[in-house]
Amino acid sequence: MSVIKIWTYDWVPEGPRGFVRDLRLRWACEEAGLPYTMGSVRFEGRETNHLAQQPFGQVPFLSDGEVEIFESGACLLHLARKSDRLMPADAIGEAQMVQWIIAALNSIEMVTVPWWFLEISGAKDNGLTGWLTSRLDGLETIFKNREWLAADRFTAADLLMADVLRVPKLRAFGDRPATERYVARVTDRPAFRKAVEDQLAYFAKAD
Which residues of this protein are in contact with a second copy, per CB under 8 A?
Answer: 51, 55-56, 58, 66-71, 73-74, 77-78, 91-92, 95-96, 98-99, 101-103, 105-107, 109-111, 113-115, 117-118, 121, 123, 127-128, 131, 135, 138-139, 141-142
Torsion, Cα 118 120 124 126, to 10 degrees, reads: 30
Render 58-71 in DSSP notation, one character per residue.
-S-EEEETTEEEES
Q: How far is the CB of 150 from a second copy (least distance, A)?
A: 11
Q: How far is the CB of 3 from a second copy (least distance, A)?
A: 15
Q: Are 61 and 53 in contact (CB under 8 A)?
A: yes
**Which is nearer to a second copy, 52 or 201 (by Cβ)?**
52
Q: How far is the CB of 190 from a second copy (least distance, A)?
A: 27
**Which is nearer to a second copy, 10 or 140 (by Cβ)?**
140
Distance CA 33, CA 133 (A): 37
**Which is nearer to a second copy, 80 or 202 (by Cβ)?**
80
Distance CA 12, CA 206 (A): 9
**Which is nearer to a second copy, 123 or 204 (by Cβ)?**
123
CB neighbours (10 Å) of residue 20? 20
Torsion, Cα 51 160 33 153, to 10 degrees, reads: -160
Q: How far is the CB of 78 from a second copy (least distance, A)?
A: 6
Distance CA 98, CA 188 (A): 23
Q: How far is the CB of 48 from a second copy (least distance, A)?
A: 10
Q: How far is the CB of 140 from a second copy (least distance, A)?
A: 11
Count CA atoms closer than 13 A to 130's CA, side-chain side.
Answer: 2
**Which is nearer to a second copy, 3 or 204 (by Cβ)?**
3
**Which is nearer to a second copy, 37 or 106 (by Cβ)?**
106
**b/e burial code for range 160-169 (CB count within 10 A of at least 16 → b):** bbbbbbbbee
